[in-house]
Amino acid sequence: MKANKKFIEEDEAVSAVIGVILMVAITVAIAATVYYYVTVMMPSGSETAPTFQLRTDDLEDRLIVTSADTGADWNRLAIKASKGSTDCLDAVPTVLFSLNTDVTLAAAPTVPADATAWQAGPGAETAVGFPISTTIAVEIEDAQNLMSATEYLDLEGYNYVGAAGIIVPEVSVTLLDTTANQEIGTYSFTSIVAAAT
């Protein structure tokens, strides 16, 4: 009985100020632990794009690789184009591209009316095309294809409405890294000449 009575009589405890300080310290420690696990232990999901260098060949209408990191892959890249001049036979010209081979067309391609990208059909066609626009981007490769020096993208123009002999003046081609979700660079051409059909 005496022990219980003594316990009740002694009402000393940690003061309210000390209690608040301890709770704040515990909260900060928990927040720091969670932050560490989120930022360090878990992958961030973003990647940096491998480095590579391209040069434009305005005579051949090509983007040529001059150097590339080990991890540089055509599969990561998408392409889009815009034109700076309206001096063109076609209101909506199309750019064709082919990787490491010249653009060839067995016949005039059918470009969908909704202005999305199209894949050339079977036969001698080697090109993928898309209308010149600032919004449409097309993947260059759908399978792994590591980049190396001297490889190239061959670019040709094609008239969306079917008139022959299109020359698309002042074309800017932009490459995007779809994995790292960033723009790689923009490359300017004085003009892009039509592919032969």
Which residues are CB-neighbours of 27 under 8 A, at least 6 positions away?
A: none
101 and 169 both lie in a single domain:
yes
Partners of residue 188 on adjacent β-strands = 172
> What is the pLDDT at residue 120?
42
For residues 181 and 45, give the distance between their C-alpha atoms in angstroms, rounded to a whole number.
11
Closest CA to 59 of 160, 152, 124, 161: 152
Q: Are 69 and 180 in contact (CB under 8 A)?
A: no
Give the CA-trace dihedral at 33, 39, 40, 43, to 10 degrees.
140
By DSSP bridging, strand 62-68 and strand 77-83 are unpaired
Chain length of the chain: 197
29 and 121 both lie in a single domain:
no
80 and 27 both lie in a single domain:
no
Low-confidence ranges of the chain (pLDDT < 70): 1-14, 41-47, 84-93, 105-135, 142, 158-166, 195-197
Q: Is 197 helix (H, G, I), strand (E, B) or coil?
A: coil
Cα angle 154-111-173, degrees, rounded to a multiple of 5: 35
- 186 domain residue, yes or no: yes
Looking up tokens 């391609």 gives 109
25 and 59 both lie in a single domain:
no
Closest CA to 161 of 83, 88, 87, 104: 88
182 and 99 both lie in a single domain:
yes
* Structural domain harbouring 21: 2-41
> What is the pLDDT at residue 54?
92
For residues 96 and 8, give the distance between their C-alpha atoms in angstroms, rounded to a whole number.
89
H/E element, 16: helix 16-36
37 and 56 both lie in a single domain:
no
Cα radius of gyration (the chain): 30
pLDDT in tens, 126-177: 456 666 666 677 777 767 788 889 999 888 776 554 444 567 778 888 898 8
| Count of domains observed in the chain | 2
68 and 153 both lie in a single domain:
yes
Q: Are 129 and 157 in contact (CB under 8 A)?
A: no
DSSP string, 88-126: SS-SS-EEEEEESS----SS-----TT---EE--SSS--
85 and 182 both lie in a single domain:
yes
For residues 146 and 153, give the distance between their C-alpha atoms in angstroms, rounded to a whole number.
14
Structure tokens at 165: 């002999």
